[in-house]
Chains A and B, each alone.
Chain A
Amino acid sequence: MLEIKNLHASINGKEILKGVDLTINDGEIHALMGTNGAGKSTLCKVIVGDPAYEVTDGTIRFNGQDLLSMKTEERANAGIFMSFQHPIEIPGVSMANFLKAAVNAKRQAMGLEPMKASAFLSMMREKRKIVAMDSKLINRSVNEGFSGGERKRNEIFQMAMLEPSFCILDETDSGLDVDALRIVAEGFNKLRKPDTSAIVITHYQRLLDYITPNQVHVLLDGRIVKTGDASLARVIEEKGFDWIKDEI
């Protein structure tokens, strides 16, 4: 599904990713761990196409397509979704309007007619139940006045609406209490189809208790320095990253 080769990327002339190689097959979940500033969020933003980052070398292929030649919105409409670490507010734009624009953009990319208002509303009703999202939030402006936890829940709600094939969860667990974490993680699991793939960025094992990764990668200073199975995350939870640094 996603194949990253020798990826180098920088922001404002500063190189953050220094040769990342990563292959994620259909249906696989890969956890990405690492110290702050190691490049985890940068990797995600380069995959989704944040114009602030410059790719200086390497390739990303997504279902055989050259992802780096596609615009941000084209990548999204091809099935890539990111749950943002810090979802931003858009004052005056209701969640319903925002999602209608997003859902219809995707439908247009697929050659489909815009969705009828009634069908759209019932879809929203159905999907928000998955993350137990309050109906009042739907009528509010995008993320405006949302608590940290509500914002994260809202991200997974949007994922439910857009039905992506490849998800990036960038610290979706941060700012969530134990109950909210469970609801969000279980929501994600319910939404996952057998061939949905994901990158999950987290500092904590607790999210991975719900979402079991096929592989765990450690990213340090712009490179993947260690890869293991789900047990690696538990070792990191216990011992931190220093032992890995010592290894290399």
Chain B
Amino acid sequence: MANEFVKKVAEEKYKFGFTTDIDTEIIDKGLSEDVIRLISSKKNEPDWLLEFRLKSFNFWKEQTSPSWGHLTLPDIDYQDISYYADPTKKKQGSETKEIDPELMKTFDKLGIPLEERMALSGMAVDAVMDSVSVKTTFKEKLAEKNIIFCSISEAVRNHPDLVRKYLGSVVPYRDNYFAALNSAVFSDGSFVYIPANTRCPMELSTYFRINARNTGQFERTLIVCESNSYVSYLEGCTAPMRDENQLHAAIVEIVVMDNAEVKYSTVQNWYPGDENGKGGVLNLVTKRGRLIGHHSKLSWTQVETGSAITWKYPSCVLEGDDSQAEFYSVAVTNNHQQADTGTKMIHLGKRTKSTIISKGISAGRSENSYRGLVKIGKHADGARNYSSCDSLLLGSKCGAHTFPYMDIQNNTATVEHEATTSKISEDQLLYCRQRGINTEDAVGLIVNGYAKEVLNKLPMEFAVEAQKLLSVSLEGSVG
């Protein structure tokens, strides 16, 4: 009985922890050239892509896992993971193109209806489970404006020139250990192409779901926004509750041309592990955008509440003159979660401008670090950066750390950095409770207030979800 109860409470806290019982084709565990050839052949890839994968793999083999993060990464046995799991694989003989109702149900349950008539207004979704894109909605409608929104596998088949031109052009496979791994074994993710002079008429989003056991998810997303165009892109993710760690090593590449603007928002809610630190997703991600065009804009907004380990630095290379980049982040860690996250702003163009607003919230025995680099190149005359990194501590057993790096090579640049660390004060809690608000609701209120500057940057639908998520993630952390 007691166990039942504990389980129920735990499940309530992470309400996406269910598994879908579905026939999934999973390839044998292990990582080798043969496995990479197998993945590539399953996806009917052209030779150039197989070569890209093999080059990446050979590079990866020579590297070692990075250890500079302020976190304890468990030893990952890369031979004990399956690198491809396909839940859409039809039973033999079945020729139907319909999606398995179990998959539809799963995404319904996650609040991501895949039928267009049910969809959230103004939002197109690419739904990815394990290694495969299940469905992309509103593709035809977007195609009317020559906007391409599909899974990256489909893009390789239908738009090979575009993919070949940009894949790895922002994050080369040699960039880092996990980027090399992803480049070798990546499966699905989204591809977005906004042609010149086009404002994408709806929000585009990708929902990533890990379901199968003992598999890793290696998402790859590529967004190209041509001159004078605009897109707002959202990313969400969840995973079942499992006792063992699950690996998620992703790459997101964004290319922004003259006067174009990309808004990229993430609500990351991978399974964080249980209250003792068992299980949870290892979220090891490289996200980067190149602001190639003049007056281009890119903003990253992230709300990170999930994952046992989060290791990611959505970054911007401000190449075009007068380009502008923003990074808004809320990272919450509770129990035994560890997060080492932040951004890199590389200013190369003249009068480039970047803003970094980071809010860390730590509870339980968690460790939460902000790590950020602001680099002003030799030719970046008049570049400006403003960074503000705040940490909020709940309780006395958690850690908050800030690692700001600066590399300024141009003396006309203006770089400002502010940092604060605070605790939720007893006085604030007393004030709320004297007004009748219970402790948990009071913590939710105070934390959401603290994170408001970032939450305000999210599209409406996501902001509401994110607010709830912040409160739920911190349940039981005070009092």
Contacts and interface: CB of A to CB of B under 8 A. Distances in A.
Given A50-B430, A72-B433, A76-B433, A90 B446 contact: yes
Contacts of B453: 92
A88 B435 CA distance: 13
Given A90-B449, A92-B452, A105 B431 contact: no
Nearest to B479: A51
B428 A48 contact: no
A162 B445 contact: no
A84 B431 CA distance: 8
A82 B437 contact: no
Contacts of A158: 435
A81 B433 CA distance: 11
B51 to A, nearest CB: 51
B446 A72 contact: no
Given A52-B426, A88-B427, A93 B445 contact: yes
Contacts of B433: 49, 71-73, 76
Q: Which of B425, B436, B439, B452 has the most CB of A within 10 A?
A: B436
A139 to B, nearest CB: 13
Size bin of chain B's contact surface: 20 to 34
B434 interface: yes
B164 to A, nearest CB: 46
B434 A141 contact: no
B427 A82 contact: no
A90 B431 contact: yes
A109 B449 contact: no
B356 interface: no
A158 B437 CA distance: 13
Contacts of A240: none
Contacts of B441: 101, 105
Contact of A105 (B430, B436, B448): B436
A203 interface: no
Given A88-B427, A88-B428, A92-B451, A98 B434 contact: no
Given A72-B433, A76-B435, A98-B435, A90 B428 contact: yes
Interface string A134-164: 0000000110000000000000001000100
A174 B214 CA distance: 65
- 5 tightest Cβ-Cβ pairs between the two chains A and B: A92-B449, A93-B449, A92-B452, A102-B435, A72-B433
Interface of B: 425-428, 430-439, 441, 445-446, 448-453
